[in-house]
Every structure is written in C-alpha cells, then in structure tokens.
Amino acid sequence: MIASLFDLTLCLLILAVAGAAVFGRAAFMAVVFFIVYGILIAIAWLRLGAIDVALAEAAIGAGLTGVLLLAALSRIMRNIDAPEPAPVLEGKTIATGLASLVVTALVAHAFLTLPEPRGLQSRVTANLADAGAENPVTAVLLNFRGWDTLLESIVLLAALLGVWTLARDDAWSGRAGLRHVTRPGGVLAQFGRILPPIGLLVGIYLVWAGSKQPGGAFQGGTVLAAVWIVTIMAGLMQAPRVADRALRAALVIGPVIFLALAVAGVFAGAFLVFPPAHAGWLILAVEAVLTLSIAATLAMLIFGPPEGEEKR
C-alpha cells in the first residue's frame, strides 16, 4: 500500500514538474524544473529496477545537462540588454501545443496496442558466460551491441567539435570557456576542495564495478567530468587550452581504441567481437579509455568554446 502510494505520488510529481518546465514563464525556471524532472525520472527508474539507467539519468540527464542548460542561458542573457519578455500565447504557439498533444496521443496509442515484447533477457543470459562481463547491461553495451556505445562516443566527440567551431579565430588558442574567479573562503571554493576527492573515488569505483554490477564508463565518466568542472569553477585550476595535445589525446583515445579493437575482432570472427577468453580484460580496457574520453568531452562541452573572458 505504501509503495503504491509512493509510486502514484511520484508519477503525479513527474507530470506536474514536466508541465512546469514546458509552460514556465521564465527560461531559468524552466531549466530548474527540467533538472528536478531528471531527478524524479531517475527515482522512477530505480523503482523499476533499472539501476544503470537511473545512474545515467541522474548524472547526465539531470546533472550535466542541467548545468549545460544553465550555462547556455547565462551566455544568452549576457548578450541581451533587455529583460527576458514573458511568453505570449500566439497562434503558432497554440498550434504547436496542439500538434504536440496529437503526437503524444498517437505515441500512447501505439505503445498500448503493441504486442507484449519478448525481450532479449533469455538470450543475454544464455551467452553471458562468454561476454566478459557479469553485468548484463555492460555485456550488451560493450559486446552484444557494441555498435551503440561506439557510435555514442563518436557522437559526443562530434558535438564537441561543433561547439568549438563557434570560437572566434583570435581566441582559438585560448582556454576553454570563461575564466572562473571565486572568493577563497566562499562556498564554491569549499566545495571545490571537499567534493573532488570523493567524486574521484566514486567515478573510479563505478567504472571498476561496472562489469559485475550497475555502473560503467558513461556513469563513471560523468562523475569524473563533474569533479573536473567543480575544481575549475572553484578556481583551483584553469581549464585546458583547446589546442593542448594532452587534452586532444584524452578526447580521442576512447573511440580510437574501441574502434581498433572492433576492427581487430574481424580476425576473431566478426567486427566488434571479443574472443571469450580475453573478453573480460578487453571490456575493462575499453571501459577505462572510454571513461577518460567521456569525462574530457563532457567537461569541454560544459565549458564551451574558448573566449578569454573573466567570470566573477
């Protein structure tokens, strides 16, 4: 009874917060409600037993995406002298809302009328011994369907290249994003000293434990990216220059090694196939280098293109 009441309350909160994010009268309020929405969705995934998805949603969906939206809003407002106008319901806005409702109804109808999915659980379980990972999610993402993870890492890198193209020619050799200056005794400076050591341990643990239990490269990489972001925002170190060779090596090492192992799998029978005898340590190696690349890429996406300005 208590669990059912909690689930019902959670569903109502998710709908209410989603509505507030969509229909909010100010962009900042919409971003805040979006972050809250991501946290609630992570709790919902936990209630469904999908711990890996919950970790990814909390770290990426609510955490880094929320920070990215706040940074984008800050950049927009710096370039606008007038205050943000309140949204007005015009004909196009109403038409867009109605179209969205129609699409939502069609998706809901398709979902409710689809046949019961059989899923891949039986097949994954039957082949888990040869996958090199005891965690079925890791086995699927890095072995059985490694294409998805490989392409996701490449898409992240492509997104960062798109962000860097926005840099001015005279700022290309500068450091990523704005320079952060904080008060030595301020709250952010204190967080910058306390949180990174804890986050570093948590990130490494998530990667190491990912082959046997919930965790993995994306979850660990997101935590490590957050550690780096907090350290730089606290003024304890500066963001790297976009032309730094070590940074560029960190960005590409994950996709490059993953792709190299995928091509090497051709000699074992097929593209992106790990030999069962070596699958365990190969997956761990891929997870390690992907974590480094994901952390560096996500952090650089948050910082944005080099600007050479100072933020106080």
Q: Return the C-alpha torsion angle 301, 307, 310, 312, nearest 10.
A: -40
pLDDT in tens, 175-207: 887 666 666 777 777 777 888 889 899 989 989
Confidence (pLDDT) at 261? 87
- Given 79, 106, 121, the domain boundary residue is 79
Place of tokens 């929405």: 37
74 shares its domain with 148? no
69 shares its domain with 210? no
Q: How far apart are the first and last CA of the chain?
A: 51
40 shares its domain with 167? no
Q: How far apart are CA 140 and CA 143, in angstroms?
A: 6
In a domain, 293, yes or no: yes
In a domain, 92, yes or no: no
161 shares its domain with 49? no
Question: Into how many domains does the chain fold?
Answer: 2
Residue 171: pLDDT over 80 = no
301: alpha, beta or left, given left = phi > 0 and alpha = psi -120 to 50?
A: alpha
pLDDT in tens, 21-59: 888 778 888 888 999 999 999 999 999 888 888 888 888
71 shares its domain with 138? no
308 shares its domain with 160? yes
In a domain, 101, yes or no: no
Q: C-alpha 228: how far from its chain's center?
A: 15
152 shares its domain with 214? yes
For residue 256, the one-letter residue type is V
162 shares its domain with 47? no
In a domain, 87, yes or no: no
Residue 17, domain extent:
1-79
Residue 256: pLDDT over 90 = yes
48 shares its domain with 174? no
pLDDT in tens, 205-238: 989 888 888 888 888 898 899 888 888 888 778 8
Averaged pLDDT score across all residues of the chain = 83
In a domain, 103, yes or no: no
pLDDT in tens, 70-115: 877 877 776 665 555 555 556 677 788 788 889 999 999 988 888 8
154 shares its domain with 260? yes
Confidence (pLDDT) at 290? 93
